[in-house]
Amino acid sequence: MLNTSKYWRKSEVLLHLIIWAIFFLFPFLLSNGELEPMSFNFIFGVALLPLMLYAIVFYFNYYFLIDRCWFPRYFATFTVMNALLFVAGILVIDYFRDQLIVDRQPHYRLASFSNKAIMNYSRILISYVLTIGASVSIKLTKNWLAFEGKKKQLENEQLKSELSGLKYQLQPHFFFNTLNNIYSLVDASPEQSKEALHQLSKMMRYLLYETEGETTSLSKELNFTISYIELMKMRIPKHVKLNYHFPTHYRDVEVLHLLFISLVENAFKHGVSSQESFIDIQCEVSDAQLTFHVKNSNYPKHESDRSGSGIGMGNLRKRIELHSFSNYSFKTFVDQGVYHAIIEVKL
C-alpha cells in the first residue's frame, strides 16, 4: 500500500502539471490565428486570467466540493455552485481585460453579446467544463486508490489474523497428538517416556519461541521434524519399517513454519497398523527446488477413531492457499495402496 501511495503522489504531481500546461495552451490552440500581438497585458488577460479561474475551480472542486456534493442527492448543488462560480469568473475576467487591454475592441466585451464575445467566452466555458472534468476524474481516481489501499490493508490484516489462528490451532493439535503417543509409553517403558517428554519439551520450546513470524529457516524446521520422528520411533512396533533421509548440506532458505510436521504426523497416524507396514520420508534440496515426500501404507482410520478430524493436513493446505505462494505446491494421492504426500517449494 505504501508503494501504491508513493506512486500515486508522483503521478498526481505529473497529472497536475500536464493539465495546467494544456489549459494554458488551450485558448491559443482554439484561436485559429485570431489573437492580437502578444503583449504582456494581452497574454495575462487572454491566458493567465482564465487559467487562474481554472485553478480556483479545479482546487475548489478537488479539495472541497467533490467530497461533499458528488452524489446523486447533492448533484444539483454541485452544478449550481460551479455555474455561479463560472458566471462570477467571466465577469471578473471581462472587467480586468478592459483594464489591461487598453485598445480592446468593443465587440470583444461580454456586454456586447457579439459573435466574437460569444466565441471567446464559449472557449472559456469549454475549458471550464474540462477543468471540472479533470478535477472530478483525478479526485475520484485518488479516492478509489485510497479505498483499494485500505481494503487491501484490511484484507492483509484479516489474512494475518486467520493465518495466526491456523498456526495456533495447529500447535495444540500437535501437542495433543504427541502427548497421546507418550501416554502409551508410560506403562510399557518409563525410561523411554521420560526421554520422550524431554524431546517434547525441546520441541514445544521451538513452537513457543521460534515461530513468531510467518517463516523460519529450513534447518530449524528440519531439525524440529527429525526430533518428532525420533520421538515417534520409540513407540512404533518392530513390524513397521521406518526409513527417513534428510540432506546434510543445503542452502538454508526460509520456509513456512510447521511445513512438514503435518505430513509426518499423518504418516504415523495412518501408516502404522498391526499388519506389515512402512513409512518412508525423504527430503531433497537442490538449488532450484525443495521436495518433501512422505510415503506410507494406507490404513485409513475408522470414523470412531478420527482424532483431530484431519486438522493438520487441512490446516497446511489452507495456509498455503491463504498465502497464495506460487512457489509452493502440496498434493496427496494414493497409488497401489501407498499414500503419498508431497510438498514442493521452488527456491
Tell me the pLDDT tens digit for each residue of 300-309. 765 555 554 4
Residue 279 has pLDDT above 90, yes or no: yes
For the stretch 129-143, pLDDT in tens is 988 988 898 888 888
Residue 347 has pLDDT above 90, yes or no: no
CATH superfamily of domain region 187-346 = Histidine kinase-like ATPase, C-terminal domain (3.30.565.10)
Residue 258 gets which letter from DSSP? T
* Rounded Cα distance, 10 and 58, in Å: 19
Highest mean pLDDT among 199-203, 220-224, 272-276, 300-304: 220-224
Task: Calculate what percentage of the chain has a pLDDT beyond 90.
Answer: 21
* Rounded Cα distance, 233 and 230, in Å: 5
* Residue 17 confidence (pLDDT): 79
What's the mean per-residue pLDDT of the chain? 79
Residue 294 has pLDDT above 90, yes or no: yes
What are the residue boundaries of the structural domains of the chain, listed by start? 2-152, 187-346
* Rounded Cα distance, 47 and 93, in Å: 10
For the stretch 29-59, pLDDT in tens is 545 555 444 566 666 766 678 888 888 888 8
Give the DSSP H/E element, type plus range, for residue 125: helix 115-186
Decide if 206 contacts 220 (C-beta within 8 A): yes
* Residue 29 confidence (pLDDT): 58
